[in-house]
């Protein structure tokens, strides 16, 4: 994925610096080469020796190291790379980048470069949310600097919120996506995700318990292989992944319109738990309880089936259409019938009986069914299932 690509990795001074060591390992595993550069603060967390041992080359640390200038000037150092990656990008380092400072090796390299730059911010959540940091992030975005993360989670300081550095494998995915070297580079994939909300009146709606976790993981995995992903999502509880074009919708019919508007695409993955019905006569005003409504009856009408509609399109049908089937009994039989009825190319079937703990859980066990046969995948994290599915899609499109 990164064969022959050279990454200049600038490590900032934050506790997440320890993850950069793993990042070096993963970039090399993907076929790339890494030249590490440690800021003075980074050296409080990791040593140049460990970075250079993992990278298999010298780790640079100081602008005024005259030997380095003789060996390779800082201008050359930054230009000889295919990409500059800043991980962790601390609030201070990002502020320096946004302000154009050049008072140490890291900031000077970032100023001197004309190659693409990717940052992986990591900082305390209050620092992340601080207007000064948000302003700097906006400036960097305007300057064309790509970003991966941060994610939400428990932080080293014990607080919970946004500011955690993206995981090393996500950073590798972002590098691949930026460099356009992924198996799905140049491909457009539409992914639906999350539940839909079908309004009863302006304040009430019918919903389901889908979290959107599997859909988000699939979009992230496809994007990791370099695909341009249009992520059409209902009101999910799991946030969309970074780096995808997000289209937010509420209802099934809005979701269908958004999917149609996103076409053409090379592939479409329909992971959304679309409501099967909507309220026939949505009330324009809040329905009042009272004598007239002690037995309120809602009349429901079937929603359009997005998967079946797109699979049957004559014009603009994506080359590969993937549907999901969440079943509680005769999983394979029902899924195979669905493949035929909806005319999609693959069905990803899973058993959502309560005993499996899959619905709302972190893991999934799926069987991928196509016209040729079926493939049962062992139970694994939703991220792992997503990566395997994305790779299968890439293989099918190649």
Could you give the string, one character per residue 253-272, with x where binding to ligand C5P holds by CB under 6 A and - elsewhere? -----------------x-x
Tell me which residues are annotated as active site. Answer: 157
Question: At its nearest, how many Å lie between ligand C5P and the CB of residue 329?
Answer: 13
Chain-centre distance for alpha carbon 77: 31
d(CA 190, CA 270): 8
Among 34, 109, 123, 274, binds ligand C5P (CB under 6 A): 274
Nearest residue to ligand C5P, using CB? 306
Question: At its nearest, how many Å lie between ligand C5P and the CB of residue 192?
Answer: 6
Question: At its nearest, how many Å lie between ligand C5P and the CB of residue 323?
Answer: 4
Q: According to the binding rule CB under 6 A, does residue 349 interact with ligand C5P?
A: no
Q: Which stretch binds ligand C5P (CB under 6 A): 4-12, 65-73, 110-118, 305-313?
A: 305-313
CB nearer to ligand C5P: pick between 133 and 233: 233
What string of DSSP letters covers 272-315?
Answer: -B--SEEETT--SSPPPPSGGGTT----EEEPP-HHHHHHT-SS
CB nearer to ligand C5P: pick between 124 and 254: 254
d(CA 276, CA 361): 23
d(CA 283, CA 293): 13
Q: Which two tokens stand for residue 133?
A: 């940091």
CB nearer to ligand C5P: pick between 178 and 350: 350
Name the 3-class secondary structure at 348: strand
H or E segment to which residue 161 belongs: strand 160-164
Q: How many residues bind ligand C5P (CB under 6 A)?
A: 13
3-state secondary structure 170-231: HHHHHHHHHHCCCCCCCCEEEEEECECCEEEECCEEECCCCCCHHHHHHHHHHHHCCCEEEE
Question: At its nearest, how many Å lie between ligand C5P and the CB of residue 296?
Answer: 25
Cis ω on the peptide bond leading into residue 69 (within 30° of 0)?
A: no
Residues 36-75 touching ligand C5P, rule: CB under 6 A, are none
Among 19, 20, 323, 383, binds ligand C5P (CB under 6 A): 323
H or E segment to which residue 253 belongs: helix 252-262
CB nearer to ligand C5P: pick between 99 and 319: 319
The residue ranges that bind ligand C5P (CB under 6 A) are 192, 252, 270, 272, 274, 303, 305-307, 323-325, 338
């Amino acid at each position: 994925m990164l064969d022959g690509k050279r990454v200049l990795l600038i490590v900032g001074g934050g506790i997440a610096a320890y993850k950069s060591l793993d990042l070096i390992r993963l970039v090399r595993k993907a076929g790339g080469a890494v030249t590490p550069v440690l800021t003075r603060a980074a050296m409080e967390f990791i040593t140049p020796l460990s970075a250079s041992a993992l990278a298999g080359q010298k780790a640079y640390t100081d602008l005024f190291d005259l030997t380095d200038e003789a060996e390779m000037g800082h201008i050359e150092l930054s230009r000889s790379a295919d990409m500059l990656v800043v991980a962790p990008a601390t609030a201070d380092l990002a502020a320096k980048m946004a302000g154009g400072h050049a008072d140490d090796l890291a900031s000077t390299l970032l100023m001197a470069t004309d190659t693409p730059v990717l940052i992986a911010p990591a900082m305390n959540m209050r620092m992340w949310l601080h207007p000064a940091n948000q302003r700097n992030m906006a400036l960097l975005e305007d300057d064309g600097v790509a970003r991966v993360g941060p994610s939400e989670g428990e932080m080293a300081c014990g607080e919970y919120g946004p500011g955690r550095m993206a995981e090393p494998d996500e950073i590798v995915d972002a590098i691949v996506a930026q460099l356009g070297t992924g198996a799905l580079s140049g491909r457009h994939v539409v992914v639906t995700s999350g539940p839909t909300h079908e309004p009863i009146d302006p304040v009430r709606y019918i919903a389901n318990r889908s979290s959107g976790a599997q859909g988000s993981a699939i979009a992230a995995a496809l994007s990791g292989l370099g695909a341009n992903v249009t992520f059409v999502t209902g009101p999910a509880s799991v946030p969309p992944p970074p780096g995808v074009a997000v289209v937010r919708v509420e209802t099934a019919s809005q979701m269908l319109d958004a999917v149609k508007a996103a076409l053409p695409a090379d592939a479409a993955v329909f992971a959304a738990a679309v409501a099967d019905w909507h309220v026939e006569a949505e009330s324009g005003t809040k329905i009042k309880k009272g004598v007239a409504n002690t037995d309120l009856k809602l009349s429901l009408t079937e929603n359009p089936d997005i998967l079946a509609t797109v699979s049957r399109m004559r014009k603009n049908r994506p080359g590969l259409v993937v549907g999901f089937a969440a079943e509680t009994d005769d999983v394979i039989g029902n899924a195979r019938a669905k493949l035929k009825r909806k005319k999609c190319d693959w069905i990803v079937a899973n058993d959502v009986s309560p005993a499996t703990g899959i619905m709302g859980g972190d893991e999934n066990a799926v069987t991928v069914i196509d016209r040729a046969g079926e493939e049962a995948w062992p139970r694994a994290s939703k991220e792992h299932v997503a990566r395997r599915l994305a790779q299968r899609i890439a293989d099918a499109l190649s």
